[in-house]
Amino acid sequence: MKWSVTMKKPTKKSFYEYMSLRFKTKYRDPDGYLTLIDVIQEAQDESKFMDLAELTLMSKADRLIYRNAMANLLVELTPAQVDEYLAIVEYGLEYIT
């Protein structure tokens, strides 16, 4: 699916509400919305869409492996940050499907 002129971006308000409900706390990360837009644009490529979809299906053990892989790339993530990123990916994939 290509990002078209007619396709509207999700609103920050709806995204922040989703994340707040999901994590039962007021979501305040200003970079989260930018990550969402990046996910939506990246998911336009069918193979990348499938890669992102597979991320959302990871077990706890797979999430630990993912964290270790990211650490090898010098990106340190806490378990909460991984959960947050996966929630953003889920929201982005739901938005474009």
* pLDDT number for residue 7: 58
Mean of pLDDT values over 80-89 = 96
Q: Map out the domains of the chain as residue ranges.
A: 12-96
> Rounded to whole angstroms, how far apart are CA atoms 79 and 47?
26
For the cut 90, the answer to whether the pLDDT of residue 9 exceeds it is no
How far from 74 is each of 38, 42, 49, 79, CA to CA, in Å? 20, 21, 24, 16
27-78: per-residue pLDDT in tens? 989 899 999 999 999 998 999 999 999 999 999 999 999 999 999 999 999 9
The amino acid sitting at 91 is Y
Whole-model pTM over 0.85? yes
Is-contact 91 18, C-beta < 8 A?
Answer: yes
Tokens 């994340």 sit on residue? 19
* pLDDT number for residue 1: 43
> Rounded to whole angstroms, how far apart are CA atoms 2 and 96?
10
